[in-house]
């Protein structure tokens, strides 16, 4: 159970006075639902303002808090022109207060003619005039003290003012309990880190050491949880798996394994034969044939009378993997079942029964396969496809499944630096599939300005007329599935106007069965042009598709573009990828797109991408729930992760049950960062 001292931190924000349902909705958009989330919503910057009595003391480009009185208004000549309040300070200096958009009402209310106001904002020079655009605060002189001279600047959402959020955060910090130190004392001393609660307020005031400490806390909790998983697994031993090859021998593959596939399979066999659980990361470029390697490992488990699970990042992929495996296993006595959020009622029941009694040998699915209700008779191996979406939390869930901890094979097309692997997964062994199957023709990639869209569509017409299939990927509009879907719908409508019923559409907001039907139609060729959002990003395999158009390519990460491009070039036909870009893009974007044109080498692309964007992509989207870390930046991960691992290790060496004073404090850290499944393991083992 969670220590009582932490309860206030896990209280809902709505329990606070003044946070009603509407405010709660706004906060939720920022991922804030509980008090702890407010504490960890760190500012991106800081406004500093100087209190001055006249504009004579104003520094251009700097924040100021200054008394001003409105003398007159000036509306613009057009509706879109700014609204201007001409105001004067007590010394008679003039400044214009400028409002853009439909803010006239707000401006008039804030500045009644002739009434003195205290105004906070940045003073700029416009021609030979001083101006303040959209002041941060305007109050009556009696309330002057309510304006702070320094204010953190927070990531916001529309409808939520920075000052309001800053107040909430400040209150939350004030109410936070003092927590005992969980970091090794000598480390705290050498780094000059403040204690936890002090670090909170200092971090919000922009102090680097304090922020670093909070990031470290997060990494430390993650490493501690991973080590607990490791120890719990290690203590319980793994189950040695060595298949007799009877099923593998009966596979009839239309091709020979590549050398890299054979080597990798041998590495995996070697691991699984050990009496401790395998923890191996398989890195292989798009199209390098990871699925087959996974199948071989799964068959080994089945040959031993055990079961395997294959976890896919999306439902589309889970379905596809299930089909692929079933196709390859035709005629073999191996039962493959599918379980995603969509299998419900009877279907789900019968899968659960088959897993429990062992008649199902291989389960393919999404995260649903780890739900509490899912019990395996004898789970010996878990394969995780595209592992960066499989975080620490899932690992913990997995560790709690079954009596014997299963072997784990994680697969990724994106090479991941060692420190990031360590951060997200703990120590892992690595295999590389560094060889593509023979006969692949590299995808011919071109970068084209969207101004030439009509030509692109004409080219597409020729492509479709010749009986080939194509993808059209629509831009990421915002970080919102709805906006993406709308853009895709609009594009599909335009293309349908020209190409009629041969056009299909898939996007994230569609219902599962609808989406399946479209994917199926594209696979069989009833549909020859598939308009899609990035739901097709990973793994979709339709070898007949040989043209890919990606709109607003400059908005995608390189690794993501490479994944998307990997959907073509899978069949015999020469394939092409057209990257449409905005008419004018930055130098950086130009360079990135040029690299896509230049190389098909996923490892090189990933390296460059990492240089250009940092590791954020690999660690998940910060705002979304599946991010590995919410506080630590990729740079901090890189710098602090090994220390965090050593610190956590040392603590567990001294106090394996986390019973001592520091051990108890460390339990708080696990709860605070929601790694408390690690605490559960302590009780069990």
Under rule CB under 6 A, residue 571 binds ligand ADP: no
Other C-beta atoms closer than 10 Å to the C-beta of 33 total 15
Give the residue at shortest CB distance from ligand ADP: 289
Nearer to ligand ADP, 100 or 255 (CB): 255
Q: Which of 117, 211, 290, 515 binds ligand ADP (CB under 6 A)?
A: 290
Q: Which of 255, 418, 623, 657 binds ligand ADP (CB under 6 A)?
A: 255
3-state secondary structure 600-615: CCHHHHHHHHHHHHHH
Residues 6+ apart with CB under 8 A from 472: 460, 491, 495, 529, 530, 531, 532, 548, 549, 551
Task: Kindly state the smallest distance separating residue 416's Cβ from Mg ion, in Å.
Answer: 16
The interface region with ligand ADP, picked from 83-91, 285-293, 614-622, 661-669 by CB under 6 A, is: 285-293
Number of residues near Mg ion (by CB under 5 A)? 1
Under rule CB under 5 A, residue 313 binds Mg ion: no
Q: Which of 520, 541, 626, 674 binds ligand ADP (CB under 6 A)?
A: 541
Binder of residue 445, out of ligand ADP, Mg ion, none (CB less than 5 to 8 A by kind):
none
3-state secondary structure 545-585: EEEEEECCHHHCCHHHHHHHHCCCCCCCCCCEEEEEECCCC
Q: φ and ψ at 116, to 5 degrees?
A: -65, 145
Task: Kindly state the smallest distance separating residue 294's Cβ from Mg ion, in Å.
Answer: 9
Q: Which of 233, 261, 431, 468 binds ligand ADP (CB under 6 A)?
A: 261
Task: Kindly state the smallest distance separating residue 340's Cβ from ligand ADP, in Å.
Answer: 19
| CA atoms within a 13 Å half-sphere pointing along the CA-CB vector of 146 | 14
The position carrying tokens 């879907």 is 485
The interface region with ligand ADP, picked from 159-167, 289-297, 348-356, 424-432 by CB under 6 A, is: 289-297
Token output for 534: 């990035």
Number of residues near ligand ADP (by CB under 6 A)? 17
Beta-ladder partners of 125: 130
- From 623, 626, 610, 601, select the one nearest 557 (Cα to Cα): 610
Binder of residue 412, out of ligand ADP, Mg ion, none (CB less than 5 to 8 A by kind):
none
Under rule CB under 6 A, residue 289 binds ligand ADP: yes
| CA atoms within a 13 Å half-sphere pointing along the CA-CB vector of 266 | 7
Under rule CB under 5 A, residue 569 binds Mg ion: no
Q: Which of 292, 470, 492, 648 binds ligand ADP (CB under 6 A)?
A: 292
Give SS3 for 449: strand
Q: Which of 222, 415, 504, 539 binds Mg ion (CB under 5 A)?
A: 539
Token output for 493: 């409508």
Nearer to ligand ADP, 217 or 544 (CB): 544
Binder of residue 284, out of ligand ADP, Mg ion, none (CB less than 5 to 8 A by kind):
ligand ADP
Under rule CB under 5 A, residue 289 binds Mg ion: no
Give the residue at shortest CB distance from Mg ion: 539
Distance, in Å, from the CA atom of 136 to the CA atom of 121, rounded to the nearest integer, reads 5
Under rule CB under 6 A, residue 258 binds ligand ADP: yes
Enter the DSSP assignment of 631.
S
The interface region with ligand ADP, picked from 6-14, 222-230, 286-294, 636-644 by CB under 6 A, is: 286-294
Q: Which of residues 360-419 bind ligand ADP (CB under 6 A)?
A: 413
Residues 6+ apart with CB under 8 A from 316: 506, 515, 519, 535, 536, 540
Q: Which of 152, 287, 308, 557 binds ligand ADP (CB under 6 A)?
A: 287
The position carrying tokens 């405010």 is 23
Mask: binding to ligand ADP, 210-249, rule CB under 6 A, as x and -?
Answer: ----------------------------------------
First to last CA, the chain: 16
Burial of 673 (0-12, 13-18, 19+ CB in 10 A): buried
Residues 6+ apart with CB under 8 A from 346: none
Contact set with Mg ion (CB under 5 A): 539
Contact set with ligand ADP (CB under 6 A): 255, 257-258, 261, 284, 286-292, 413, 437, 539, 541, 570
């Amino acid at each position: 159970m969670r220590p009582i001292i932490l309860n206030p931190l896990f209280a809902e924000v709505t329990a606070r006075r003044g946070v009603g349902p509407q405010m709660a909705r706004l906060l939720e958009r920022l991922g804030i639902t509980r008090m702890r989330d407010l504490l960890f919503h760190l500012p991106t910057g800081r406004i500093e303002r100087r209190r001055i009595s006249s504009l004579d003391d104003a520094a251009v480009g700097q924040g100021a808090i200054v008394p001003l009185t409105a003398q007159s208004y000036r509306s613009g000549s057009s509706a879109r022109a700014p609204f201007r309040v001409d105001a004067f300070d007590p010394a008679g200096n003039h400044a214009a207060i400028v409002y853009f958009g439909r803010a006239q009402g707000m401006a008039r209310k804030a500045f009644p003619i002739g009434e003195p106001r205290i105004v906070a904002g940045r003073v700029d020079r416009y021609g030979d005039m001083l101006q303040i655009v959209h002041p941060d605060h305007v109050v009556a002189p009696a309330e002057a003290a309510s304006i702070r001279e320094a204010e953190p600047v927070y990531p916001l959402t529309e409808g939520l003012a920075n000052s309001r959020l800053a107040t909430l955060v400040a209150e939350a910090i004030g109410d936070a309990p003092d927590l005992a130190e969980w970091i090794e004392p000598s480390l705290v001393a050498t780094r000059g880190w403040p204690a936890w609660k002090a670090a909170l307020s200092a971090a919000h005031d922009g102090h680097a050491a304090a922020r670093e400490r909070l990031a470290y806390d997060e990494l430390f909790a993650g490493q501690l949880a991973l080590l607990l998983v490791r120890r719990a697994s290690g203590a319980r031993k793994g189950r040695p798996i060595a298949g007799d090859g009877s099923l593998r021998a009966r596979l009839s593959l239309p091709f020979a394994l590549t050398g890299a596939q054979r080597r990798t399979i041998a590495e995996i066999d070697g691991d699984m034969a050990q009496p401790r659980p395998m923890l191996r990361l398989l890195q292989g470029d798009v199209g390098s044939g990871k699925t087959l390697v996974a199948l071989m490992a799964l068959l080994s488990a089945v040959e031993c009378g055990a079961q395997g699970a294959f976890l896919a990042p999306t439902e589309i992929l889970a379905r596809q993997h299930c089909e692929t495996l079933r196709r390859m296993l035709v005629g073999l006595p191996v039962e493959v079942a599918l379980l995603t959020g969509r299998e419900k009622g009877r279907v789900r029941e019968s899968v659960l029964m088959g897993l429990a009694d062992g008649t199902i040998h291989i389960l393919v699915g999404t995260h649903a396969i780890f739900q509490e209700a899912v019990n395996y008779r004898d789970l010996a191996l878990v394969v995780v496809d595209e592992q960066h979406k499989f975080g620490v939390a899932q690992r913990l869930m997995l560790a709690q499944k079954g009596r014997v901890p299963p072997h784990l094979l994680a697969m990724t097309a994106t090479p991941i630096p060692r420190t990031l692997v360590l951060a997200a997964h703990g120590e892992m062994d690595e295999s590389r599939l560094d060889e593509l199957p023979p006969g692949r023709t590299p995808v011919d990639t071109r970068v084209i300005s969207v101004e030439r869209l009509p030509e692109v569509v004409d080219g597409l017409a020729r492509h479709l007329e010749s009986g080939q299939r194509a993808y059209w990927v629509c831009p990421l509009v915002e970080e919102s599935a709805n906006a993406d879907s709308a853009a895709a719908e609009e594009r599909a409508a335009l293309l349908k106007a020209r190409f009629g019923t041969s056009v299909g559409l898939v996007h994230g907001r569609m219902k599962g069965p609808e989406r399946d039907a479209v994917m199926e139609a594209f696979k069989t060729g009833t549909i020859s042009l598939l308009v899609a959002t990035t739901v097709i990003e990973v793994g979709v395999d339709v070898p007949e598709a040989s043209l890919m158009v990606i709109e607003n390519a400059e908005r995608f990460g390189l690794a993501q573009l490479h994944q998307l491009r990997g959907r073509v070039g899978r069949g015999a036909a020469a394939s092409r990828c057209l990257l449409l870009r905005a008419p004018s893009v930055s130098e950086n974007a130009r360079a990135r797109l040029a690299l896509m044109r230049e190389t098909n080498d996923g490892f090189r692309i990933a390296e460059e991408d990492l240089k250009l964007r940092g590791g954020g992509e690999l660690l998940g989207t910060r705002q979304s729930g599946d991010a590995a870390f919410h506080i630590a930046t990729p740079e901090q991960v890189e710098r602090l992760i090994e220390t965090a691992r050593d610190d956590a290790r040392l603590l567990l060496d001294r106090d394996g049950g986390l019973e001592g004073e520091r051990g108890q404090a460390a339990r708080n850290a696990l709860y605070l960062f929601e790694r408390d499944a690690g605490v559960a393991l302590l009780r069990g083992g």
